[in-house]
Homo-oligomer: A and B are copies of this chain.
Amino acid sequence: MVGIGDDAAVVATSGDAVITTDMLMEGVDFEPGTDPRRVGRKSLAVNLSDLAAMAAEPVTAFAAVALPRSGGRAIAEQLYEGLLALAEEFQITLAGGDTNSWNGPLVISVTAVGRVTTRGPLLRSGARPGDVLLVTGELGGSILGHHFDFQPRVREALWLHAAAELHAGIDVSDGLTLDLARLLAASGCGAVLDLDQIPVSDAARQLAADRADGISAREHALSDGEDFELVIAAPPAEADRLLAAAPPVRLTRIGHCVARPGLWQAARDGNWEPLLPHGYEHQLS
């Protein structure tokens, strides 16, 4: 493999390459003054989360950076310190990049490359009516810190993908209901959620208590972005097997897929009520 120092990197993926790219911008994805190590870590972590959502093994990553001219060298060092520490944790290399300076805010764009396992990639489009919906970890309130410190669910995804036949997967980057709606749209089916089963994080509870704005902890869990947990659709027998098999992460059954398109919640009377997908969407005019 040819790494940093040539015009491009040569990456041996031995099969299909899985590639994803994500950009973080100062003032949007992190506040000005944030420790650049946290920014560097997050810039890779969000991409690893996308690879996890495809159940791909990370191989390498590339970083393109726009650094403020003043203090840029120190920022760059800390940025790469955070990025490389996470890369080491997942035993991947940083194969190349593009380091720039300007009179603007910090921007970092990372592209991560993975490879599919023998099971093939886990897509958004494979969910079928009857599939059970599972979610890893706990949801909501990531703004309190989890959006920097989260562990991308790479190992968990590989474990799940190896342990059972999964139909579809996505990572929660913009909010559970919003990302789930994307999976459902890609799969051409709907889902009924059992809201009592949504795993609500302590951070979501704290946020609801602190803000006292009428948004409940569960609503935070349903719609906050940047949880970076995985939502998986699997046939019932496979889901049962996973839940019984001591998975390496908390795994919760939150609902099931149905033929009727849309996102629904089971009401007490047994009927379905519409659940509006809600989460973070970029605004453009």
Contacts and interface: CB of A to CB of B under 8 A. Distances in A.
A6 interface: yes
A96 to B, nearest CB: 6
B51 A8 contact: yes
A81 interface: no
Interface string A85-98: 00000000001111
Given A16-B12, A64-B109, A69 B283 contact: yes
B7 A11 contact: no
Residue from A69, A100, A101, A284 with most neighbouring chain B CB atoms (10 Å): A284
Interface in A86-141: 95-105, 107, 109, 111-114, 116, 121, 123-125
Given A13-B13, A25-B102, A64-B23, A8 B54 contact: yes
Nearest to A125: B6
A71 B60 CA distance: 35
Nearest to A17: B11
Number of copies: 2
Nearest to A62: B21
Interface residues of A, number: 70
A285 B73 contact: yes
B104 A25 contact: yes
A20 B9 contact: yes
A72 B285 contact: yes
A207 interface: no
A72 B284 contact: yes
A145 interface: no
Interface of A: 2, 5-13, 16-23, 25-28, 50-51, 53-54, 56, 60, 62-67, 69-73, 76, 95-105, 107, 109, 111-114, 116, 121, 123-125, 169-171, 186, 282-285
19 contacts: A2-B121, A5-B124, A7-B53, A8-B51, A8-B53, A8-B112, A11-B16, A11-B19, A19-B62, A19-B95, A19-B96, A23-B107, A64-B111, A66-B107, A69-B285, A73-B285, A98-B109, A101-B282, A109-B109
